[in-house]
Amino acid sequence: MKKFLERIDGTRLLLHPGAVPGMRVPGMIFADEYIASLREDDNAILQVAHVATLPGIVGYSFAMPDIHWGYGFPIGGVAAFDAEEGIISPGGVGYDISCGVRLLASSIAAKDLGRVVDKLLPALFSAVPSGAVSGGGKPLSPKDLDQVLEGGVAWAVKHGFGTEGDGEHTEEGGCLKGALPGEVSERAKDRGRTQLGTLGSGNHFVEIQMVDEIYSEKDAARLGLIPGCVAVMIHCGSRGLGHQVCDDALKIMRRAMGHYGIDVPDRQLCGVPVSSEEGQRYMGAMRAAANFAMTNRHVIADAVRRVFKAFFPREPLYTVWDVSHNLAHLETHRWEGRKRTLCVHRKGATRAFAGLPVLIPGSMGTASYVLVGTPQAEESTFASTCHGAGRTMSRTEALKRTGAKDLLRSLAKRGVSVMAENLHTLGEEAPEAYKDVSHVVDVVQGAGLSLKVARLRPVAVIKG
């Protein structure tokens, strides 16, 4: 695979067609020498090449600097497909549909947090269910669940969670139009019915942070980020409901692909024309799952606010932004001189239209970043940028290298408190298992895909 890679400049590698048979476009990987040196094997690059074989792909099969081996698509992958000739692929969205990040900010001085964090963190841990076997969230009636799936965050506001202002600071106003709750299977609904307001497991978290450094005073002020003050970052997605929507769609598309003459090099890449009946049904179900995910983060944010209010009654937490990093959107982009409607798949990648906030969570115990999108991202990557640090090490390897107790001690030395549903597996998320997020962010800034606004330093974490 390496012989097909060519360095174009300090932040970009071109993957020439020919890396695998049938590539319709080249691959473009955003990586400097450091990022490129971390690639332990060719699995992720092979996945970039496989995506480039899919029908109707436009421009490049992109990979952001947080790239790592995924399923079908690489994590950190971006692919845009022509809305008329191209496909939509559930594998390009992922199982955790609309997994994403919400950031809350405040004017609470971080030094005041130190006095109460020992009581506040357990209170948060109780208020936000995580990793539970049978959901643990607010049980929803069938009617309410359908309203969440169709209307997103508005349902939560109507039922006393958060404010309308939160919706305005959420991608697409907190509701993807065109969601079709009727296309979400009963099994998916069963899985989601008790999961609203829950974190789940894996790399999902609620993290209390401090605004540590400002890079753009103008953008930081616009977004309400105050140096030295407290912020809260929430990372989670659509839980079992989204996973089931993906699984259901894979089965349907596997059966339909032959009818459309589509063949794929990996079954997880299966897809159908965007405009086909199967494509439109998946689009509707995916949007419904995304509405569930945004509402999930909204309800968790409400629980976080209630806990903070008990400790800081006069200082509210307000929503900075909420954005998904596993989603497909129909968007209009100018490519090769003409406007085109494209189905842009971002799997472990963030929308980065000029001026829109981009939220980049770091690994546990390391910094997170707020960026903004740029015109250059719109021109070169269909308005996309990275989504996080990106793993470099398997979970078993991370556990071998870092025991939970060692990790807790190391984090405590850095002033970071942690509570987790399962301390035994905490080592899976050790910072050493990830790339240096600061470096990842420097690459996307160096490539002009987004600009740094602020760095956030962790203070305390709840892990799923």
Partner 1 sequence: MGWKIIDHTADAGLEVWATSWHDLFLQAAEGFYCLCLDGAPPLPPEGTAGKSRVLRLETLDLEELVVSWLHELLFLLESEGVFFHPTSLTVTPHPPALVAEGLLFPSPGGRIAVKAATYGGMVLESSPHPFLRLYLDL
- Which residues form the interface with partner 1 (CB under 8 A)? 40, 43-44, 68-72, 75, 91, 94-96, 130-135, 187, 190-191, 200-202, 240, 243, 246-247, 250-251, 254-255, 266-268, 391-397, 421-422, 424-425, 464
Q: How far is the CB of 15 from partner 1 (least distance, A)?
A: 18
Q: Work out whether strand 100-109 and strand 229-236 pair parallel, antiparallel, or are unpaired.
A: antiparallel
Q: How far is the CB of 51 from partner 1 (least distance, A)?
A: 12
Q: How far is the CB of 169 from partner 1 (least distance, A)?
A: 28
Whether 387 is catalytic: yes
The smaller minimum CB distance to partner 1, of residues 127 and 257, is found at 257
The smaller minimum CB distance to partner 1, of residues 242 and 373, is found at 242
Q: How far is the CB of 386 from partner 1 (least distance, A)?
A: 15
> With the C-alpha atoms ordered 35, 38, 44, 45, is the resulting torsion angle positive or negative?
positive
The smaller minimum CB distance to partner 1, of residues 59 and 100, is found at 100
Give the closest residue to 368 by CA, choosing from 164, 208, 253, 224: 208
| Residues forming beta bridges with residue 329, ordered by sequence position | 344
Q: How far is the CB of 326 from partner 1 (least distance, A)?
A: 11
Q: How far is the CB of 255 from partner 1 (least distance, A)?
A: 6
Token digits for 89? Answer: 């692929």
CB proximity list for 338: less than 8 A, separation 6 or greater: none
The total of other beta-carbon atoms located within 10 Å of residue 71's CB is 15
Give the closest residue to 17 by CA, choosing from 8, 4, 33, 29: 4
Q: How far is the CB of 166 from partner 1 (least distance, A)?
A: 27
Token digits for 303? Answer: 């629980």
The smaller minimum CB distance to partner 1, of residues 115 and 255, is found at 255
The smaller minimum CB distance to partner 1, of residues 201 and 276, is found at 201
CB proximity list for 306: less than 8 A, separation 6 or greater: 127
- Helix/strand/coil (H/E/C) assignment for every residue in the chain: CHHHEEEEECCEEEECCCCCCCCCCCEEEECCHHHHHCCCCCHHHHHHHHHCCCCCEEEEEEEEEEEEEEECEEEEEEEEEECCCCEECHHHCCCCCCCEEEEEEEEEEHHHHCCCHHHHHHHHHHHCCCCCCCCCCCCCCHHHHHHHHHHCHHHHHHCCCCCHHHHHCEHHHHCCCCCCHHHCCHHHHHHHCCCCCCCCCCCCEEEEEEEEEECCHHHHHHHCCCCCEEEEEEEECCHHHHHHHHHHHHHHHHHHHHHHCCCCCCHHHCCEECCCHHHHHHHHHHHHHHHHHHHHHHHHHHHHHHHHHHHCCCCCCEEEEEEECEEEEEEEEEECCEEEEEEEEEECCEECCECCEEEECCCCCCCEEEEEECHHHHHHCCCEECCCCCECCCHHHHHHHCCHHHHHHHHHHCCCEEEECCHHHHHHHCHHHECCHHHHHHHHHHCCCEEEEEEEEEEEEEEC
Q: How far is the CB of 64 from partner 1 (least distance, A)?
A: 15
Q: Write down the catalytic residue from 204, 329, 345, 387.
A: 387
The smaller minimum CB distance to partner 1, of residues 135 and 357, is found at 135
Q: How far is the CB of 313 from partner 1 (least distance, A)?
A: 33
The smaller minimum CB distance to partner 1, of residues 47 and 384, is found at 47
The smaller minimum CB distance to partner 1, of residues 181 and 427, is found at 427
Q: Catalogue the active-site residues.
A: 387
